[in-house]
Chain A
Amino acid sequence: MCATCGCSDGEEAVHAAVPSGHEHEHEHEHEHGHAHEHEHHHVHDHDQHEHGPHTHTHADAPARTIRLEQEVLAKNQLLAERNRGWFQAREVVALNLVSAPGSGKTTLLERTARELAGRVALQVIEGDQATAHDAERIRAAGCDALQINTGAGCHLDAAMVGKAIEQLRPPSGSLLMIENVGNLVCPALFDLGERAKVVIVAATEGEDKPLKYPHMFRASRLMLLNKIDLLPHLQFDVQRCIGYAREVNPQLEILQVSAQTGAGMQGWYQWLYRQLAPRHALAAASADATEAVGP
């Protein structure tokens, strides 16, 4: 290897492999960014023959190693923390709703928007690969909603949410629901700056979803088991599903709901009020007093 610039191309490797016992001098020129010239003077004893001085040119510049130690998702993490700071400064509680497609996230949000209207300022960011259908459904339920279309993307990222909150500008003290793209894999990796992830699993899915997609269930704080109104028609073992979920994430809170019939939704609202506390402690108390708690 060249001591001046550290180059170690193939030709020099050949020099190193030459057995001892020859004498030669050589010069070489480099063609690369930092111009310099140098000479090598190798002198070896040589029994059989002698080399005359020779010149050769290096075609390749020296390679150098750059240590990066860079987290690949650092940029997303930085933007997520920026969003988190934005939310904290305005006492906005942001939740990242994740699930497989068809678990009933949008139906859950429609009912939540209708039933919390007048009690909680609720806003929704809808993430889908295409269409504005979900945002339209949420708006029809009387709630501000902004649609993000990710195109080929399979998840929302912190930059998309940052842009969305600039447009939506959720008011101070509000609850911001971010409905992620229906996908139990990718959204687990991308922090959006949310307070917590809420994973929704429907009774129409397999009860082993938590074992099959452990990253998402581990990253979530709450699991909503939705579509419990269909349980009489299904082979779904609720306790087994809950057992799997707790195996993957012993801290996971679990609530059973039906966004279709409203069963269990009071438990969900109380959980939301606890996230919004102390600002909404009174609202929670009045909700407890006036409405029966679901199963």
Chain B
Amino acid sequence: MHELSVTQSIVAICAEHAAGARVLRVRLQIGRLAAILPDAVRFCFDLCTDGTVLQDAQLEIIEIPGRAVCCRCGAQLTLNEPFGRCDCGSTELTVIAGQELRIEQMEVL
């Protein structure tokens, strides 16, 4: 549900940086632990860009896997959810990747 307001922010940020130029392509980074559904962003993107300089722009989403480091033994592990359990048994993990929600770049005309 929040993807709509998140996508509105994405469109607003891109439009501001485009300064009137037409935006052809936008590349986002969305972490798997960011609580953002890429498909929902894609769906909202067409709605939000309609009538803006981003109209008909292509949306490219790079999904970044979740990674954490165990606070007890220092091992790194891959996470599909924002929590998990290290092989050593600890659930005290520091998430080091996968929480991204970032506009990486855009192509303008």
B-contacting residues of A (Cβ < 8 Å)? 32-33, 60-73, 75-76, 152-155, 157, 183, 185-186, 188-190, 214-215, 218, 246-250
B91 at the A interface (CB under 8 A): yes
> In the complex the two chains form, is A186's CB within 8 Å of B1's CB?
yes
B44 contacts which chain A residues (CB < 8 A)? none
> In the complex the two chains form, is A188's CB within 8 Å of B35's CB?
yes
CA distance A243 to B12 in the complex (A): 42
A76 contacts which chain B residues (CB < 8 A)? 9
> In the complex the two chains form, is A72's CB within 8 Å of B82's CB?
no
Known interface pairs A72-B6, A73-B9, A247-B91; 5 further A-B residue pairs with C-beta atoms within 8 A, sorted by A's residue number: A63-B107, A69-B103, A70-B17, A155-B2, A185-B2
A-B contact pairs, 8 of them (CB 8 A): A64-B108, A66-B108, A68-B104, A68-B105, A75-B9, A152-B4, A186-B2, A248-B82
A32 contacts which chain B residues (CB < 8 A)? 109
Closest-CB distance, A217 to chain B (whole angstroms): 8
> In the complex the two chains form, is A64's CB within 8 Å of B6's CB?
no
Which B7-47 residues have C-beta < 8 A from chain A? Answer: 9-10, 13-14, 17-18, 21, 24, 28, 35-36
* The one of B13, B91, B109 that contacts A63, using a Cβ cutoff of 8 Å: B109
B101 at the A interface (CB under 8 A): yes
B81 contacts which chain A residues (CB < 8 A)? 214
**Nearest 10 pairs of A and B residues by beta carbon:** A186-B2, A154-B1, A248-B83, A215-B35, A68-B103, A67-B105, A70-B103, A72-B101, A63-B107, A250-B92
Q: With CB as the reference atom, state the residue of chain B lying closest to A217.
A: B83
CA distance A231 to B83 in the complex (A): 28
Q: With CB as the reference atom, state the residue of chain A lying closest to B6.
A: A72
Closest-CB distance, B90 to chain A (whole angstroms): 8
> In the complex the two chains form, is A65's CB within 8 Å of B106's CB?
yes
CA distance A186 to B1 in the complex (A): 7
B106 contacts which chain A residues (CB < 8 A)? 65-66, 68
> In the complex the two chains form, is A72's CB within 8 Å of B10's CB?
yes
CA distance A189 to B109 in the complex (A): 33
How many A-B contacts are there with CB distance less than 8 Å? Answer: 87
CA distance A185 to B1 in the complex (A): 8
> In the complex the two chains form, is A73's CB within 8 Å of B101's CB?
yes
A66 contacts which chain B residues (CB < 8 A)? 17-18, 105-108
B5 at the A interface (CB under 8 A): yes
Closest-CB distance, B28 to chain A (whole angstroms): 8
Q: With CB as the reference atom, state the residue of chain A lying closest to B100.
A: A71
* The one of A69, A152, A153 that contacts B102, using a Cβ cutoff of 8 Å: A69
Closest-CB distance, A76 to chain B (whole angstroms): 8
CA distance A243 to B37 in the complex (A): 27
> In the complex the two chains form, is A218's CB within 8 Å of B6's CB?
no
Closest-CB distance, A197 to chain B (whole angstroms): 14
CA distance A60 to B109 in the complex (A): 8
Closest-CB distance, B104 to chain A (whole angstroms): 6
CA distance A64 to B83 in the complex (A): 40
Closest-CB distance, A58 to chain B (whole angstroms): 12
> In the complex the two chains form, is B13's CB within 8 Å of A70's CB?
yes
* The one of A63, A64, A71, A154 that contacts B2, using a Cβ cutoff of 8 Å: A154
Q: Given A154-B2, A186-B2, A250-B92, A218–B107 Cβ distance below 8 Å?
A: no
CA distance A92 to B2 in the complex (A): 28
Closest-CB distance, A292 to chain B (whole angstroms): 34
Closest-CB distance, B71 to chain A (whole angstroms): 9
